[in-house]
Amino acid sequence: MRLVFLGAPGAGKGTQAKRLEAEKGWTVVATGDLLRAAIAQNTPLGQQAHAYIQRGELVPDPLVNQIVAERLATLESFILDGYPRNLAQAEMLESILTKPLDAVIYFEIGEESLVERLSGRRICPQCNAVYHIKTNPSKAGDKCEQCGAPLIRREDDQPEAIRRRFQVFREQTEPLVEYYRERGLLRTINADAPPDEVYAQLLSVL
């Protein structure tokens, strides 16, 4: 399967992608996770990307396109989580794929539900597991229940960066809904539902 997960920040893309990866073995390529790892390791890419991420802006296309092209070169099946995020990236993706996408899953949800999800989100910087302080707390408290690393709050899960990310989503990413609808690839699911229900919808559209 060659899938793209499209949706606003906090819609639940990463949560569902990781579950599909665990159950089906399709590799998740999550550009946000890759960029955060680059920042943590202080690589040249991380140094260039950091300020954009902190502000809730998109990282420039050439940087992101390159990491995606490198990853996809060796993968038959994948779930792209967080890429493409604008029209230029969508066109880039089309040009690097040797086989077409199977589907683009649109996680539809209103912004009202998202602030609560993002402000309570905690992530594992080591294995990228995703938690929520209320709805999905780690069984190991403030440590990751999978790898034991201390959980962190993302620096862009703060009110100002959250507002900017919503704006960027509306202006730059949301037009991709029409782009993929026109190409017959779009499958919409209701992301404003409990995780198991969203997962069941996902399996049924796939």
**Cα–Cα distance between 35 and 168 in angstroms, integer?**
18
| Residue 165 known to be catalytic | yes
With CB under 6 A as the contact rule, the residue among 85, 117, 121, 122 that binds ligand AMP is 85
Read off φ and ψ for residue 54, nearest 5 degrees: -55, -40
Q: Which is nearer to ligand ADP, 45 or 83 (CB)?
A: 83
8-47 positions binding ligand AMP, by CB under 6 A: 9, 31-32, 35
CB under 8 Å to 139, separation ≥6 — which residues? 145
The helix-helix angle for 61-72 and 31-40 (nearest 10°) equals 110
Residue 179 found at the interface with ligand AMP (CB under 6 A): no
26-45 positions binding ligand ADP, by CB under 6 A: none
**Cα–Cα distance between 56 and 64 in angstroms, integer?**
15
Q: Which is nearer to ligand ADP, 42 or 163 (CB)?
A: 163
Over the window 87 to 126, marking each residue x when it contacts ligand ADP by CB under 6 A and - when it does not, the resulting string is ------------------------------x--xx-----
